[in-house]
C-alpha cells in the first residue's frame, strides 16, 4: 500500500537522515536519492 505519513518534515528529520548518511555504517549507500518527505514522493 502506498500512503504518505501525513506529517510535515522538520529540520530535525532532515538532520537525522544526514547524520545517518555520515555514519560509517552507511558507507555502502552511494549514488541514490534519499527522500526525506514523509512518503509524499510515492504519490507521483
The predicted structure's pLDDT at residue 44: 67
pLDDT at 1 over 70: no
**Looking at the predicted structure, is the pLDDT value of residue 9 above 80?**
yes
> Is 0.75 surpassed by the pTM of this model?
no
Q: What is the pLDDT of residue 39?
A: 85
Separation between Cα atoms, residue 34 and residue 16, nearest integer Å: 12
Give the span between the Cα atoms of 21 and 27, in whole angstroms. 7
Mean pLDDT of 10-39: 93
Q: What is the mean pLDDT of the chain?
A: 87
The grid coordinates listed for 27 are 558507507
The three cell numbers of residue 18 are 544526514
All residues at 6 or more sequence positions from 10 whose CB lies less than 8 Å from its CB, including other chains? none
Amino acid at each position: 500500500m502506498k500512503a504518505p505519513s501525513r506529517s510535515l518534515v522538520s529540520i530535525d528529520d532532515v538532520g537525522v537522515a544526514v547524520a545517518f548518511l555520515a555514519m560509517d555504517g552507511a558507507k555502502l549507500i552511494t549514488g541514490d536519492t534519499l527522500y526525506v518527505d514523509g512518503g509524499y514522493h510515492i504519490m507521483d
